[in-house]
Each structure stands twice: as structure tokens, then as C-alpha cells.
Structure 1
Amino acid sequence: MTDAPPPPAASDVDERLRDAFVAACHDELTALKPGNVHVHAPGHRMTVRDFEVSAAAAAPHLARKGASVGRRVRDAVAATAAAVGTNTNLGIVLLAAPIMVAAEAGGDLRAALGDVLGSLDVEDATLVFEAIRIASPGGLGAAPEHDVAAPPTVDLRAAMAAAAHRDQIARQYVTGFFDLFETGLEVFDSTKLWAVAEDVRIAAVYFSFTSGFPDSHVARKHGAVLAEDIMKEFQTFKQYLHPFDTEALLAFDADLKRRGVNPGTSADLTVGTMLLARLR
């Protein structure tokens, strides 16, 4: 078990950012997300409680005033590992850290996020590589370049660029979080016209990712072919979002979990979208 880093003093934590992160994590858990953990069903030996504890452990480190992206990621992941003993939120933390730094800077959030991503350095990469080693995400394996097992030789954005073709979260660092702004937020806003409850809107955000891209986590664990097939299954099941068919979606959820399929990256992108929605 990883030793938890000392929690920052209360005066060093931006309460607005801390609370927004915890709320965004809670938002995502309320939605029926087939294959992933949610309030309607656990999965993959994880429960809603695991994610709630993880959010609480990570939040003060992510909201630490003046901290770099790398420091926020490393300390949040280490605190999570010490609290729950498993990787529940590496992807979430990697998305949240630059958003938090941008929100702390103020002004237009998307523009500030671009500035944050453009200023990432080798020290950020060093700390993020350490965080990834702590989390030990399933299916990580060795990388042809900028392997996290070795010290980085480039800044964090360059390291992410090398992985962007195979990892949706790395791609956000290269594209200025394009998928969250142009897919996630767009769906969250547009579904307000017909969705009767916010958890349905959040489920629609999740489906926008699972049906729009082969999920990176599924591809790492099960291969590109199955990831493509799962994306097509989600395209078929989108019909049950409007009107919302709980029974059909829970059956799909149970089937995916029986097969050991977890579109975890799409869930991470959903949390990132909800964080943007709360902070924009």
C-alpha cells in the first residue's frame, strides 16, 4: 500500500475547486453507465463507496493552491491508493488536474486550459509517470517511447502526444480537451431539451463517448477488435436513452460486467465533462 502524502492545510485548499471535483465525481456515479460502476449496480470488484472515498481523498490535493499539474496528479493518486488500495481514478485525476489549474487562474476556462497545457514541463512528466506507476492501471504494458518505467526526457504534453493515438485521455492533453468541450459538454447541454433528470443527461454524455470512440481501457485490456465491437454495441443501445429504458440498459450493464468489459476511460471523460460543466 502506498503511503498517503500529507494533506494540504485547509488554508492551502481552494474550497470551490475541491467541492466542484467531489460533486463531479458524485454526478457521474448517479448515472446508469453500462459496464461501469454506478448507484444502480457495482462492478469489477468495485463499489460506489470506493469511488466516493477516492474522490474525497484526491480532492484536496487536486485543489491545492499554486500546485503544478504534476504535483496535483501524483499526490491525488497516492492519496487514493492509500485510501482504497486500488486504481479507481487515475484517468479522472489526469483530466482534473489541468482543469483545476486553469480554473484557479481565472478568466475563460478553455483559454486558460490551453495556457496550462502549453506550459507543462519535464517535472510535470516525472510526477505523472510516478503517479501512473503507483496506480498500475490494468493493461498498461510497455510503451515504445516515453515508457513510464523510465525517467521522462520530454515535457508532459510531448509524452502525452506520443500516446495520443492509443489513449483518449492522453489525446485531451494534445487537443486542448476537445472531446470534453465539443462532445461531452455539447451533449450535456443539448439533452436538457428532453431529459427529465440530470442523471439521464449524464448517461447520455457517457454514451456519447462509448458510442463515439473505441474505449481506451477496453482496448488495453481486451484488444482493439473488441473495443471496436463494444463501441458498436453502444451505438445500438443509444436508442434506449430517449425514452430512457432502465430495464434494457441494466440488462446491457449486467452483460458487459459478466464479460468483464468496463469502458472506464469513457467514465473518466464523463467526470471531466461534469467538472467543466460545474466550473465554466
Structure 2
Amino acid sequence: MIFAAAIAEAFRAACREEIEAPKPGNVHVFAGGHNMEAAHFLTSAEASAGPLAAPGASVGARVLGAVTASFDAVGMNTNLGIVLLCAPLAAAAERGGPLRPALAHVLAGLDRNDADQVFRAIALANPGGLGAAAHHDVRHPADTSLLEAMREAAPRDRIAYQYASDFDDIFVTGLFALAEAQTRGLTSPLRAVAVYLVFLSSFADTHVFRKFGAGTAAEVRREATEMLLLFHSRRGDCLPELLAFDQSLKARGLNPGTSADLTVATLFADRLRNGLPSRRNDD
């Protein structure tokens, strides 16, 4: 179907743009890190795009299918957070109409089956910092809807918070940062760097927080704020400084993966809002 293919390509393009951006602490084409390389992420994006955009699929089925395909392709967790964020956006785009109201409808309809499939995907990916939970442990069958599980996790996980807030960080912080970057004349991949640094400086990255605690997460946020000021003052012309910050974070084992996931979702949402064909052209 034309429309599904367009959603899949929007996802691939968002993933490519993000991996081409020199995002400090995260994997990109300028430098690998954390035992991963850019090729792992590009392969994962290609493998997971089809299941993510599967016509008529539930959010849970999209997540489980995409994570399974990605894990089969590269044998490691590269894009769980990306898929968790992009699957509801893909389902919303399939509905048609303005993206955020459609997304709110998708999120409101999430049920226990969605939770079961997402829990299986999370357990398969086994992300860093995952431990036993007092409520809604992903290693056990779901006992509530996916939306309720995400609401319970929202205070400690920024990806879960998106489900609880109708993706507030994406539609407010992320898309505003993207529009501002474009107003400043930044193009790909520097506009993705701008979005990433805004996320990293706006709140504690929960991937860093889970693994290293509040103090380290706050320090990374402070350093990102300084880098964002430099980035803006030089209109993005600061690759040596970005790569030095990148090396510093990686030397400390710090991977702001949540900020990178939110960046992909922002780029994906932008493409879904502005780059899809009319549903009238769909097969």
C-alpha cells in the first residue's frame, strides 16, 4: 500500500538523519560507541520499518514485530526506545487527519493485548538498567492496559511519559526545537543535533539516570546546556567541540539514549505531518 510504504520510508529517513548527526555520547556516523556502530542502527531501521508501518496493525503488534525484526537483524538492542515512540505515531498517521489528535485517539485505545506484546518486546531487547518492577513487570503477563502501565512508569521514564502526555515532549519541545533550528538556517544533519541538545539540556536523560543516578544525569544536562549555547552561537559550526564532548561522555560510559530516541521520534513526526501523500492516493 502506498500510504504504508510512505510511513515506512518516513521512519527510515528519520533514523538515517539521526544517525548521521554527531550527537554527543550516542552512536553516529562519526564515531561508534557502547559496543555499537552506525551500521547496526541503519540495519535495524531497515529491518523494523515494515513491521512498524504494517497496515491495520495494533501498536503492540507494531512494537513486537519491529523489535523482533531488528533483533534478528543485528542481535542486539539498538532501537527499542525508537520503536516504542514511533509505533503509536505510525498508527496515528495511518488514521489520517491532524497527527496529534489522531495520536491521542490511538493512545486512548491501547489495551492489555498491546501491553502483552510490548512487554515481550522489552524483555527481548533487555535494555540497560532494566530491573524487576513492583508493578507491571515486563517479565510477567500484563495485568493492565499499555496506557495504564505507561502512566505508572511515566515519573521515572521519559518514553513512558510520552504515552501519558500525548507525546508532549515531541509536539512541544522537539518540534519547536526543530522549527527553530530551521529558522536559524540549519539543515540535516545539524538540525537533528539541535533537537538532540535541546532534549539533553531540558531534562535528565532517563537512560543515564537509570544506570548512573540523578547526580550524573544532572551533570550531563549541565554540560549539554553549555554545548547548546556554543552550538547556537556558532550556528552549528562546532564539529570538533561536539566530537570532544562525545568522546568525554563515551569515556565515562554515558549514553544519553533517551534523548536520541526522542530526536528520532521528532524527526519522524515532522515527516508524518509534512511529507506523506494524501490518503486518497492510497491503494
Range class of TM-score, shorter chain:
over 0.9
Confirm or deny that 1:264 pairs with 2:249: no
- Is residue 47 of structure 2 the alignment partner of residue 54 of structure 1? no
Query: Which residue is 1:208 aligned to?
Result: 198
2:226 is the counterpart of 1:232: no
Are 1:249 and 2:242 an aligned pair? yes
Query: What stretches of structure 1 move > 2 A for 4+ residues in a row?
Result: 195-198
CA deviations 1:51-77 (Å, max 9, x no partner) are 000001100000100000000000110
Q: Which residue of 2 aligns with 1:192?
A: 182
TM-superposed deviation, 1:167: 0.4
- Equivalents in 1 of 2:35, 2:56: separation in Å? 36
Q: Which residue of the partner structure matches residue 276 of structure 2? A: none
Q: Which runs of 5 or more structure 1 residues have no equivalent in the other structure?
A: 1-10
Name the aligned partner's letter for residue 152 of structure 2. Answer: A
Alignment partner for residue 278 of structure 1, among 271, 275, 279? 271
Contact residue 3 and residue 94 of structure 2 kept, 8 A: no
Q: How does 1:22-171 map to 2 (within 5 A)?
A: 22-171=12-161
Find the aligned partners of 2:207 and 2:2 in 1 and give their Cα distance. Answer: 34
* Preserved CA contact (<8 Å) 1:13 1:60: no
C-alpha contact (below 8 Å) 1:121/1:156 kept by paired residues: yes
Gaps of 5+ in 2: 274-283
CA distance in 1, matches of 2:217, 2:239: 24
**1:22 partner amino acid:** R
Aligned-pair distance for 1:12?
9.8
**Structure 1 residues 13, 82: CA separation in 2 closer, same or farther (over 3 Å shift)?**
farther
Partner letter of residue 174 of structure 1? A
RMSD: 1.2
State the shift of 1:236 in Å: 1.6
Sort the Cα spacing of 1:141 and 1:217 in 2 relative to 1 into closer, same or farther, 3 A: same
Partners of 1:171 and 1:108 in 2: how far apart? 21
Please report the TM-score for the alignment, with normalisation by the length of structure 1.
Answer: 0.94
CA distance in 2, matches of 1:48, 1:103: 27
Q: Distance between the aligned counterparts of 1:98 and 1:196, measured in 2?
A: 28
Distance 1:117 1:225, change over 3 A: same
Residue 13 of structure 1: how far off its partner (Å): 8.2
**Distance in 2 between residues matched to 1:256 and 1:27, nearest whole Å:** 21
Residue matched to 1:177? 167
Moved more, 70-79 or 229-238: 229-238
**For 1:162, what is the secondary structure of its paired residue?**
helix
- Separation in 2, partners of 1:207, 1:195: 17
Name the SS of the counterpart of 1:146 in structure 2: coil
Letter aligned with residue 120 of structure 2 = E
Instruction: Tell whether the 8 Å contact from 1:240 to 1:249 is kept in structure 2 after alignment.
Output: no
Q: How many residue pairs get matched?
A: 270
Cα distance in 2 for residues equivalent to 1:240 and 1:45 = 29
Letter of the structure 1 residue corresponding to residue 67 of structure 2: V
